[in-house]
Amino acid sequence: MSETVIAATRTAGARLAAAWSWGWPKLFAIALVIGAWEALFLSGWRPSYVLPSPGDTFGALYQMVGTERFWLAVKTTMTRAGTGFILALVLGSIVGIAVARVKPLRLAVGNVITGLQVMPSIAWFPLAILVFGLNEQAILFVVVLGAGPSIANGVIAGIDHVPPAFTRLGRVLGAGPIALYRDIVLPAALPTYVAGLVQGWSFAWRSLMAGELLVIIAETPSLGTTLDFARQMSKVPELIATMIVILIIGMIVDGVFGSISRRIRRNRGLAIDD
């Protein structure tokens, strides 16, 4: 009995120790940044209406989170991000599979996809605004163009790196072309595909923020417009608070992708980085 208790305490203690060893460097880093910021504020390098103190900023954040308008803005932005990302996922995957499968298609557009991936998607906005107008479609268009190429490239790289032994196995087992793709090639490509999705997400998020700053739609609060209004009204604490929200949302989504990717790798006995 006493043994069990000791073991249980140890596990709880061990868990706490693990949480601490995971958490303290992060807490330390946050404390360091806030400390440096406070020091910069106190040094009087810039007047407080340009560079507010961490205290004022977190106060503004706290107030902002309490408003309905803020959650409306988050909802608009996340809806755009979600719609754009899912559209990019569908289109990117279809294009990726087609390019990986059809050789002439690869010769024709393989490099273009990489080119599009490298091209800053914000460069599309002037054209998108002219074609679609200052509206949701313009934003969506650029988000899809931002994320799609990374996703397509993830599919292509994933399929290219499927071990030849697996495709040979498929033939030996008598898999038809569709079954070979469904059961062997695509699952084998999954880890690289997910890496492409992670990258696609980060491009989508960046394109979306650029879009929300450029394409401001009346009566539709978003994180981008919140930033822009805060700048126009010189509400600097609110501006920085919004930036923190944008940072945190990006990190949360990335964390979700990271844990999906780690689970896939663990299931396959692959090395897990970090």
Residue carrying the six token digits 């007047």:
47
Q: Own/partner pairs for 124-133, CB < 8 Å, 24+ apart?
A: 125/210, 125/211, 125/214, 125/215, 129/214, 129/215
Comparison of 38 and 160: residue with beta carbon closer to other proteins: 160
**Residue 262 beta carbon to other proteins: minimum distance, rounded to whole angstroms:** 14
Residue 249 is encoded by which pair of tokens? 């949302």
Comparison of 130 and 172: residue with beta carbon closer to other proteins: 172
Cα end-to-end span (Å), the chain: 38
**Residue 166 beta carbon to other proteins: minimum distance, rounded to whole angstroms:** 7
Q: Give, to the nearest 10 degrees, the angle between helix 54-65 and helix 236-267.
A: 80
Which residues 6+ apart lie within 8 Å of 118 measured at CB? none
Question: Which residues lie near other proteins (CB under 8 A)?
Answer: 165-166, 168-169, 171-175, 179, 183-184, 187-188, 190, 264, 267-270
**Residue 236 beta carbon to other proteins: minimum distance, rounded to whole angstroms:** 50
Question: Exposed, middle or buried: residue 99 (CB in 10 Å: 0-12, 13-18, 19+)?
Answer: buried
**Residue 269 beta carbon to other proteins: minimum distance, rounded to whole angstroms:** 2
Comparison of 169 and 256: residue with beta carbon closer to other proteins: 169
Comparison of 62 and 166: residue with beta carbon closer to other proteins: 166
**Residue 169 beta carbon to other proteins: minimum distance, rounded to whole angstroms:** 5
Residue pair 80/140 in contact by the 8 Å Cβ criterion? yes
Nearest CA-CA partner of 116 in 133, 134, 92: 92
Comparison of 47 and 176: residue with beta carbon closer to other proteins: 176
- The Cα 166–Cα 184 span in angstroms is 7
Nearest CA-CA partner of 152 in 203, 209, 95: 95
DSSP H or E stretch at residue 192? helix 186-214
Comparison of 106 and 262: residue with beta carbon closer to other proteins: 262
**Residue 178 beta carbon to other proteins: minimum distance, rounded to whole angstroms:** 12
Residue carrying the six token digits 């890496």:
195
Comparison of 169 and 248: residue with beta carbon closer to other proteins: 169
**Residue 112 beta carbon to other proteins: minimum distance, rounded to whole angstroms:** 32
